[in-house]
Chains A and B, each alone.
Chain A
Amino acid sequence: MSLLRKIRDTGRVAEPAPPRPQAAPPPAARDLGGSAQVRCVDAGSCNGCEIEIAAAFGPVYDAERYGARMVASPRHADVALVTGPVTRNMAEPLRRTTAAMPEPRVVVAVGDCAVNCGEFAGAYGVEGAVGDVVPVDLEVRGCPPRPEEIVAALRTVTGR
């Protein structure tokens, strides 16, 4: 019962929705119609971006209210959220993951490392940025990007 009282006292923690982002959605996202299943791929990240993605799907930012939902399989996914510079061992798994996703699919590179290798550019274990391995539709900058920016990118995809 104490949990029930806690739920009543806490009420709603989700922040009011910011205005809809103005950026045009990537061409592959036009048919999604307010629903996007998201698969996260950690291609070699330091886990900073993962923490921000987890925050974006948490109760405060609540990316789920815009129709984005995390799924367990690339076969169910429309969006791949790829984080980190692509390490040599993760290049092939990343290619296979995007190949397993049914068309139309959207690849979002999250964080500076995913966009241009960031801190790890030129390291011996790094194959390249995400764009060097699979075609990228949308980029989210920042090290790590703020949850608002991840949510804004997901809203651009879902169009809500």
Chain B
Amino acid sequence: MSGTGLTAVAAQIVVVISGAPLLAGWMRQVRARMEGRAGAGVLQPWRDTRKLLRKEPITPIGTGPAFRTAPALLVATTAVVAALVPLLSTTTPVSAHADLILVVALLALGTVALALAGLDSGTAFGGMGASREMTVAALVEPTILVAVFAFSIPAGSTNLAAIVAGAVREPSRLASPAGLLATAALAVAVLAETGRIPVDNPATHLELTMVHEAMVLEYSGPDLALVELGAQMRLTVLLGLLASLFAPWGIATDASWPALAVALAAFVVKVAVLGAVLAAAEVFWAKVRLFRVPELLAGSFLLALLAVTSSYFLSGE
């Protein structure tokens, strides 16, 4: 395969790893400005990471391999997803393997690793967070699958690169009822998967309301840095995937250097805009009660199911 393809894969991984903390900092900054604060600056998550890497790692007494390997596994699976999904280019050496089911399975592997680590820590909150995370994950994974299936019907493939390339050629697929329903369904699923506000509050200090945070209460130092980086990378990848699926303009469909440069700029702009919209929306929303979360996710699953149905019947096949 060509040098541009390999560069695109490398660029996707590098942009996601280096850009994920910046996205988190950007979203906190947008939120701070809307709350009338000055904000800590876009670079603050990188400062936090640098400091955490210098700190002493603590392995709590009684924890085993699940606790120790989970942070690395979370970052590794997310990095593989970042390499696979079409964020910058649809023609990369690995795009033939960018199957939807594989991508969702890799995301689920990271989620399960962290939930096992939460159980392994043996604290009350760790187990509680793990059980909540599994409840949410069991409702979110099918929604992501079904919402993207709505696009795989006109594309005739579950390969994400093929779906995105098809949408670039025929933008009318996006404006169809199926496309709009799937957008809404996937947006809710992404919020739940990344632990954002209607489902989970990433800035909470109340252990009883935590989902993701409760699982990682026992991590410290470099392990915590990896867990936080992993969570930020998942948010970046999922927002990038959302942008690629529903606003694929600018993504490189051929292996040329100018197209890749345009795709990089478009990706940064799209993810920054999505992040700002999400951060602004979080100022207006409250976290819903935990018992309401299944209703929200069931609603989003229903939208996804309607999207698939309308995609199947309206495509005229």
Do A and B interact?
yes
Chain B residue at smallest Cβ distance from A7:
B34
Write out the residue numbers on chain B whose beta carbons fall within 8 Å of the beta carbon of A76. Answer: 217, 219-220, 224
Answer yes or no: B283 CB below 8 A from chain A CBs: yes
A64 to chain B: which residues have CB within 8 Å? 32, 37, 39-40
Known: A10-B36, A102-B57. 8 other contacts (CB 8 A): A13-B36, A32-B51, A62-B32, A65-B32, A75-B224, A76-B217, A78-B55, A104-B56
A17 pairs with B44, CB closer than 8 A: no
Q: Which 9 A-B pairs have the closest CB atoms?
A: A13-B36, A75-B220, A35-B47, A65-B38, A73-B217, A102-B56, A14-B38, A102-B220, A103-B56
Q: Find out whether the CB atom of A33 lies under 8 angstroms from the CB atom of B213.
A: no
Check B50 for interface membership: any CB of A closer than 8 A. Answer: yes
Report B-chain residues with C-beta under 8 Å of the C-beta of A73: 217-218
Chain B positions within 8 Å of A103 at CB level: 55-56
Evaluate contact between A62 and B37: CB separation under 8 angstroms.
yes
Expressed in whole angstroms, the Cα–Cα distance for A71 and B36 within the complex equals 21
Q: How far is A75 from B221 in the complex, measured between Cα atoms in Å?
A: 8
- Within the complex, the shortest CB–CB distance from A7 to chain B, in Å, comes to 5
Interfacial chain B residues near A71, Cβ < 8 Å: 205
Q: In this assembly, does A3 line the interface, its C-beta being within 8 Å of a C-beta of chain B?
A: yes
Contact with B along A78-96 (1 / 0, CB 8 A): 1000000000000000000
- The one of A33, A70, A78, A101 in contact with B205, judged by C-beta atoms closer than 8 angstroms, is A70
Whether A37 is near chain B, meaning CB under 8 Å from some CB there, is: yes
CB distance from A60 to the nearest CB of B (A): 8
CB distance from A42 to the nearest CB of B (A): 13
A33 & B36 in contact (Cβ 8 Å cutoff): no
Which residues 186-227 of B sit at the A interface, judged by CB distance below 8 A? 204-207, 210, 213, 217-221, 224
A-B contact pairs, 8 of them (CB 8 A): A7-B34, A14-B36, A36-B51, A62-B38, A69-B40, A71-B205, A75-B58, A78-B55
A79 to chain B, nearest CB (A): 11
Q: Which residue of B lies closest to A104 (CB)?
A: B55
Contact A31 B48 (CB under 8 A): no
User: Which DSSP category, helix, strand, loop or mixed, fits chain B's interface?
Assistant: loop
Evaluate contact between A33 and B224: CB separation under 8 angstroms. no
Report the bound CA distance from A72 to B126 in whole Å: 13
Q: What is the CA–CA distance of A56 and B73 in the complex, to the nearest angstrom?
A: 38
B33 CB within 8 Å of chain A: yes
- Is B313 positioned at the interface, with any CB of A under 8 Å from its CB? no
Q: Does A122 contact B (CB under 8 A)?
A: no
Check: A59 CB closer than 8 A to any chain B CB.
Answer: yes
- Over the window 41-62 of chain B, the binary record of Cβ atoms lying under 8 Å from chain A Cβ atoms (1 yes, 0 no) is 1001001101100111110000
Of all chain A residues, the one with the shortest Cβ separation from B33 is A12
Residues in chain A near residue B283, CB distance under 8 A: 3, 7
From A7, A12, A67, A102, contact of B44 by CB (8 A):
A67
Please indicate the chain A residues that have their CB under 8 angstroms from the CB of B205 in the complex.
70-72
Of residues 1 through 59 on chain A, the ones whose CB sits less than 8 Å from some CB of chain B are 3, 7, 10-14, 17, 31-37, 59
Task: Report yes or no: A35 in contact with B55, Cβ–Cβ below 8 A.
Answer: no
Cβ-neighbour of B50 out of A10, A35, A65 (below 8 A): A35
When the two chains form their complex, are residues A59 and B221 in contact, meaning their CB atoms are under 8 A apart? no
Contacts of B51 in A (CB 8 A): 31-36, 78
Q: Which residues of A contact B224 (CB under 8 A)?
A: 75-76
How far does the alpha carbon of A67 sit from the alpha carbon of B49 in the complex, in Å?
Answer: 12
Chain A residue nearest to B39 in the complex (CB): A65
Question: What chain A residues lie within 8 Å of B47 (beta carbons)?
Answer: 33-35, 67
With A71-B205, A78-B51 already in contact, the answer to whether A11 and B39 are too (CB < 8 A) is no
Query: Once the chains bind, are B220 and A65 in contact (CB under 8 Å)?
Result: no
B295 touches A (CB below 8 Å): no
